[in-house]
């Protein structure tokens, strides 16, 4: 029997001292190649503990993928604060310690991602890119969960599940179809601005290292008097910005569906550490009747001439994960993860998001996802929120009186924090209602963005939109052309002509090849055409 043993013959590391494999119970493994059987070809026995553990653990290796942003990669590094916001001391606006003391470094991790595709989908998809940063600050964790583009499709969280359903493949056939997305968008004119960015080359960043990041939603900064300002965050890559044409993306995708992850990993491995500068835009808290948009509307850019980008620090990524699953797949970011001095605004998207993230993470990773090293703060955690599956708090750290797991108490346990600083307490005087915000102005900035593009970017935009819309229902085509016309007449006219030209080409191609329906390879945003 012994002669038949299939030994691992790899001798790559023979000169290095290698540890012996053990079971998860710590027992040394004597045979990892052959299951235990009666005779060397006989039936297997049930007490095959090592084999059964190995297979059953393998059967459970994957956690559910993220419902959005499933495809991603990440790295570790630090944030270094300038201690100033532009030329002013940062303390004027926020008491968050992460920003104080020029030169102070805060460790962090980042996860970049695409949105609509599944976990192994191509990284060349036309799709926003996620840009999520977790800072392990001295006051607990701060997550800035952003995207590469600075605006979003919708402005009310109520619409998010429908939007994502429309952007994902057809639930019956599982085939991506641009008609679904444009059907939704044609009834959601607030999305026209984002669509204008998405179908331009800005919809396919060349790599994660060459893209911007933005918090997108409006947050607040609170100073030590409890005063608030509205704030937007933006990351600017020191490597420069590079986007791809559809043709360039197609070429990459034919050879490599994981080029962006590979690019990030290899750059860090060779010591070429990517860096971004963090800027903020600040606005006095309030309604701002002088603006033609609501500062809480995430489909709008804040004009830079009125609200300049002010540098506040920089981020460097200098370490790759050692284990993708442990450190990146199980990473859990959320918009509710703020520290003292940072606060929510009433941006309806931000509020909806804040519930959604931790809710999905309790399901995706588990109730105790915050105990995992990548998610746990580097500060000590003293909480009475415990138990649940896989609770692995260190019992040695259960405080001076482990009998008291409630608060308040006169005899022990943790006590409530002293209130050193005044809280920010916004006042409200309005009826509760379900109603859209005022000043929707769905087309003004979409038109500005269209006109701000360089010629080649505009050409790409028209071609990408026309290719995708050419296979849509006529009612959807007409509605979309009307929206683009409202943004800019030239925009609408060119998309209309582009759709007609593309439909004619498809007709001729069908005659020649009798290809049924849509062009081969065309997917949700019309790539591959
Ligand atoms: C991931 C919900 C809007 C950026 C997610 C996840 C959910 C979600 C459920 C998966 C989280 C996980 O499994 O860990 C929502 C809802 C939104 C919304 C309900 C609107 C109401 C946005 C917006 C942005 C954004 C506007 C950009 C600013 C991200 C990013 C991730 C993500 C970057 C991936 C985080 C990671 O790398 O783990 N979102 N989202 N989301 N979302 Fe959103």
Question: Rounded to whole angstroms, how far apart are CA atoms 197 and 152?
Answer: 10
Q: Is the pLDDT of residue 5 over 80?
A: no
Q: In this predicted structure, what is the pLDDT of residue 14?
A: 58
The overall average pLDDT reported for the chain is 93
Atom of ligand 1 nearest to the CA of 67: 10
196 pLDDT exceeds 60?
yes
Structure tokens at 466: 């026309």
Pocket test residue of 69, 129, 264 for ligand 1, highest count of atoms within 8 A of CB? 69
Which domains occur in the chain, in start order?
Answer: 72-197+204-377 (2.40.180.10), 443-511 (no CATH)
CB of 362 shorter than 6 A to ligand 1? no
Over residues 136-180, the pLDDT tens digits come to 999 999 999 999 999 999 999 999 999 999 999 999 999 999 999
Q: What is the pLDDT of residue 528?
A: 36
Instruction: Give the closest residue to 75 by CA, choosing from 248, 318, 303, 377.
Output: 318
**Look-up of token digits 């081969």:** 520
The pLDDT value recorded for residue 13 is 53
> Complex ipTM above 0.90?
yes
Give, using CA atoms, the residue closest to atom 26 of ligand 1: 152
CA of 522 to the centre of ligand 1 (A): 26
> Does the pLDDT of residue 521 top 80, yes or no?
no
Q: Which of 356, 361, 363 to mutate to test the pocket of ligand 1 (most atoms within 8 A of CB)?
A: 356
**First-last CA distance in the chain:** 59
Q: What residues are annotated to the active site?
A: 69, 147
Q: Mean of the pLDDT values across residues 221-242?
A: 97
Q: Please tell me which residue, 10 or 131, carries the higher pLDDT value.
A: 131
Q: Read off the pLDDT of residues 453-480 as tens digits, 9 standing for 90 and up.
A: 999 999 999 999 999 999 999 999 999 9
Instruction: Tell me if 357 CB under 6 Å of ligand 1.
Output: yes
Nearest residue by C-alpha to atom 22 in ligand 1: 353
Contacts of 70 (CB under 8 A, 6+ apart): 113, 117, 118, 119, 121
Binding site membership of 206 for ligand 1 (Cβ less than 6 Å): no
Query: What percentage of the chain exceeds 90 in pLDDT?
Result: 88
Does the annotation list 357 as a binding residue?
yes
Nearest alpha carbon, ligand 1 atom 28: 146
User: pLDDT tens across 262-319, in order?
Assistant: 999 999 999 999 999 999 999 999 999 999 999 999 999 999 999 999 999 999 999 9
- Which residues lie below 8 Å from residue 311, measured CB to CB, with a gap of 6+? 82, 85, 86, 277, 278, 279
Share of the chain above pLDDT 70, in %: 94
Q: What pTM does this model have?
A: 0.93
* pLDDT mean over 57-85: 97
Give the model's confidence band at 529: pLDDT under 50 very low, under 70 low, under 90 confident, else very high: very low
Are 136 and 79 a contacting pair, CB within 8 Å?
Answer: no
Kindly write down the DSSP assignment for every residue of 168-219, as one continuous string.
SPPTTT----HHHHHHHHHT-GGGHHHHHHHTSGGGSBS-STT--EE--S-E
Residue 113, Cβ neighbours under 10 Å: how many?
A: 24
Q: Is 279 near ligand 1, meaning CB less than 6 Å away?
A: no
pLDDT in tens, 417-452: 777 788 899 999 999 999 999 999 999 999 999 999
Look at residue 62 and tell me whether its pLDDT is greater than 70: yes
DSSP 463-513: HHHHHHHTTS-HHHHHHHHHHHHHH-HHHHHHHHHHHHHHHHHHHHHHHHH
Count of beta carbons in the 10 Å neighbourhood of residue 436: 9
- Is 321 a residue whose pLDDT tops 50? yes
**pLDDT category, 9, cuts 50, 70, 90?**
very low
Per-residue pLDDT band at 513 (split at 50, 70, 90): low
- Kindly state if the Cβ of 377 falls inside 6 Å of ligand 1: no
Alpha helices for 399-488 (secondary structure H): 444-452, 455-469, 474-487
Using omega within 30 degrees of 0 as the cis cutoff, is the peptide bond preceding 408 cis?
yes
pLDDT in tens, 358-415: 999 999 999 999 999 999 999 999 999 989 999 998 877 777 788 999 999 999 998 8
């Amino acid at each position: 029997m012994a002669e038949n043993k299939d030994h691992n013959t790899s001798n790559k590391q023979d000169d290095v001292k290698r540890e012996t494999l053990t079971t998860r119970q710590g027992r040394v493994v004597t045979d990892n190649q052959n299951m235990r059987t009666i005779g060397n070809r006989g039936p297997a026995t049930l007490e095959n503990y090592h084999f059964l553990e190995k297979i059953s653990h393998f059967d459970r290796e994957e956690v559910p993928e993220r419902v959005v942003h499933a495809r991603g990669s990440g790295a570790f590094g630090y944030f270094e604060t300038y201690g100033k916001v532009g030329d002013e001391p940062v303390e004027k606006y926020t008491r968050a310690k992460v920003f104080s003391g020029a030169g102070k470094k805060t460790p962090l991790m980042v996860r970049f991602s695409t949105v609509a595709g599944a976990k192994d989908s191509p990284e060349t998809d036309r799709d926003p890119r996620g840009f999520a940063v977790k800072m392990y600050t001295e006051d607990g964790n701060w997550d800035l969960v952003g995207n590469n583009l600075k605006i979003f499709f919708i402005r009310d969280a109520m619409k998010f599940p429908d939007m994502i359903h429309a952007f994902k493949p057809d639930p019956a056939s599982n085939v991506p179809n641009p008609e679904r997305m444009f059907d939704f968008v044609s009834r959601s004119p607030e999305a026209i601005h984002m669509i204008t960015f998405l179908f331009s080359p800005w919809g396919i960043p060349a790599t994660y290292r060459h893209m911007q990041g933005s918090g997108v939603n409006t947050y607040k900064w609170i100073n030590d008097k409890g005063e608030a300002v509205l704030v937007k965050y933006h990351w600017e890559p020191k490597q420069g910005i590079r986007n791809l044409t559809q043709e360039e993306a197609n070429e990459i995708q034919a050879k490599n569906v994981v080029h962006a992850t590979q690019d990030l990993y290899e750059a860090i491995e060779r010591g070429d550490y990517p860096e971004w500068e963090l800027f903020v835009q600040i606005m006095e808290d309030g309604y701002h009747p002088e603006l033609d948009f609501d500062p809480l509307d995430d489909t709008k850019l804040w004009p830079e001439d009125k609200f300049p980008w002010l540098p506040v620090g920089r981020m460097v990524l200098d370490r790759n994960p050692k284990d993708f699953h442990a450190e990146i797949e199980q990473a859990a970011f959320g918009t509710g993860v703020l520290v003292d001095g940072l606060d929510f605004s009433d941006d309806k998207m931000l509020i909806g998001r804040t519930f959604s993230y931790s809710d999905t993470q309790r399901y995706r990773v588990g109730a105790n996802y915050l105990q995992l090293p990548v998610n746990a703060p580097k500060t000590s955690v003293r909480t009475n929120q415990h138990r649940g599956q896989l609770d692995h708090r260190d019992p040695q750290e259960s405080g001076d009186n482990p009998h008291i797991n409630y608060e308040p108490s006169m005899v022990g346990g943790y006590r409530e924090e002293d209130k050193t600083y005044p809280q920010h307490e916004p006042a409200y005087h309005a009826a509760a209602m379900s109603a859209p915000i005022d000043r929707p102005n769905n087309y003004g900035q979409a038109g500005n963005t269209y006109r701000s593009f360089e010629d080649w970017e505009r050409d790409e935009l028209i071609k990408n939109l026309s290719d995708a819309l050419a296979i849509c229902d006529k009612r959807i085509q007409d509605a979309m052309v009307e929206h683009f016309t409202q943004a800019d007449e030239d925009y609408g006219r060119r998309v209309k002509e582009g759709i007609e030209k593309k439909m004619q080409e498809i007709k001729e191609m069908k005659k020649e090849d009798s290809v049924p329906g849509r062009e081969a390879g065309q997917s949700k945003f019309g790539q591959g055409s």
